[in-house]
Structure 1
């Protein structure tokens, strides 16, 4: 376990400088402050003051960290979580990590320092080490949506494997065999599970698999060019977009290429929102249970705060499928 001495040594500063950076009581130059914070992140160091605060008074506040507040899926979860907390007499403190692991770490420490009673995190990567340290220091933590890893943290998400398999099987039943799968990043286990569900559905239908039909578009700024190039080269009859942002990107690519939609190419999205039925063709989509996801995560955290000491929970919820105009039957 890292100590303040380890942080000082790695940053090349004195222990007093590290202490001043972390407690904010004295001025430290931007250069030294940056070096100290980088060392803290690298070592996963949680200051003793934070650990002590976790064992002190209750504040009736919960911390919530999301990776992108502009994403309608995460925005929907925020609304459910905030309402669930308020109904139980808690206030929710929201932070946006902007898909930045270092910022997420800083935000988590800041929320812990503010003595939140518990923390819900949609992480930028699978099972961050610092969250296990915060839990060991007495802070209840629940991982939501991105729940890869095996440790003692509570987790709530959907069955991504089954959701992608059901979606792919739906396209196959409509006569599609040339199905292009768009993914954000294979660094996240929930996306890898969606890829595996897609692959197993193809295998069960006797459709040959080619890794080039899985297109990684990027997590932070998905690449339109990657989608355009894949459509030009593969000429799919259907696209399965594995996130809501990629659904929009796929529609943009289809319009850019002036393809008949859905006459020449069909589209199945992941996540269902108001815009799905604003413009024709209405978007067919795998539908994640946002209300149930948020409620379950809040319930588990609040139960922990009431003294629940049962083994770590891993909740997987089923998705639905909304078949609409964007998927055309062929053959």
Structure 2
């Protein structure tokens, strides 16, 4: 069985350098790290992580709980977190709560029992109390869904500004009848997106009407909910506040045989590889997934290393990815809007915005 001494001899470095290269401890240059890893692969060396964890009282593992691993947004975040953790010598234990608060609680306890050094959680609800109790002994970072104030570290995006910017873009294309699709109002990040949408409309002199904010839930009949909303309000544009709802909106538009984007435009929230697989290519508000994962790992390791004690709240900016799914509002639609203002008789055409 090869030893760490054998690896050091083959790589031409010290035993301490091998240890640092494998553990992510002190800084090791990329060239030296690659030489060590090449020697590890050639010799088939297996580090004794258990012995190392007993020495430094660290398991070199991080627990990660996401609401739904099948959601491309969360799986992309997982990838960024794993890459950032691996670069620092940590492994990630991944769990999916399936949007179930009780399952999330059980998974958190299971990760603690496996002696993870810390946890990153995308919670099913705002500010779960049990995480605050866990955070008193084991560092916890909340990611993406970061509502509440309870002393935990948080990394997310400025949802209000992101939604406002997205709505302003639709307004700049002449759209005034903008339907906002949301999953639920129970999460702070979604409520903030509604606030951003409202702020943009009001700044443009367009009255906000809560009926144009459509909670779609997460059920199998979501597409039908969207279809009914389109038929009722006849929007010229849809702003889908989550990536899943972007796909649902595309399905609803196709089911109704509406010219897309000539008759109805669509702006999504979140950005993934499949955004350019759809026809037309999907315009979106893009979240900085890689930076979100990196900052979450950074905050967690700062806690572990005792760099700071007070809670940190990191809000990252989003950017607009303009592609093909948003078109300038058709002249015929503008004429209809003018007529609807002249004849507010309670029909779908008279609805706000």
- Contact 1:99–1:220 (Cα < 8 Å) also in 2: no
Aligned to 1:299, the other structure's residue is in SS state helix
- 2:278 is equivalent to residue 271 of structure 1: no
Q: Distance in 2 between matches of 1:320 and 1:90?
A: 30
* Residues in 1 aligned to 2:163 and 2:177: alpha-carbon distance in whole angstroms: 16
**Structure 2: stretches of 5+ with no match in the other structure:** 1-55, 332-353
Count of residues in Structure 1 that have an aligned counterpart in Structure 2: 275
Cα distance between partner residues in 2 of 1:104 and 1:312:
22
Alignment of 1:1-331 (within 5 A): 57-136=57-136, 138-219=137-218, 221=220, 223-330=222-329, 331=331
Matches of 1:146 and 1:203, distance apart in 2: 26
Output one character per residue of 1:30-51: Cα deviation in whole Å (capped at 9) or x when no partner.
Answer: xxxxxxxxxxxxxxxxxxxxxx
* Conserved? CA contact 1:222–1:246, under 8 Å: no
C-alpha displacement of 1:225: 1.5
Contact 1:283 1:326 (8 Å CA) reproduced: yes
CA distance in 1, matches of 2:130, 2:219: 22
- Whether the 8 Å contact between 1:163 and 1:318 is mirrored in structure 2 is yes
- RMSD across aligned positions (CA): 1.1
User: What is the TM-score normalised by the length of structure 1?
Assistant: 0.81
Task: Decide whether aligned partners of structure 1 residues 222 and 301 sit closer, same or farther in structure 2, where only a CA change above 3 A counts.
Answer: farther
1:261: Cα distance to partner?
0.1
Pairwise CA distance, 1:279:
3.0
Q: In the TM superposition, what is the alpha-carbon distance from 1:222 to its structure 2 partner? A: 6.3
- Secondary structure of 2:192's counterpart equals helix
Per-residue CA deviation, residues 138-195 of structure 1 (Å, 9 max, x unaligned), is 1000000000001100000000000000000000000000000000000000000000
Task: Quote how far apart the aligned CAs of 1:280 are.
Answer: 2.1
SS across alignment from 1:259 = coil
Q: 1:222 to 1:116 in 2, by over 3 A?
A: farther
Moved beyond 2 Å, runs of 4+: 219-222
Structure number with greater Rg is 2
In structure 2, distance between residues paired with 1:83 and 1:249: 30
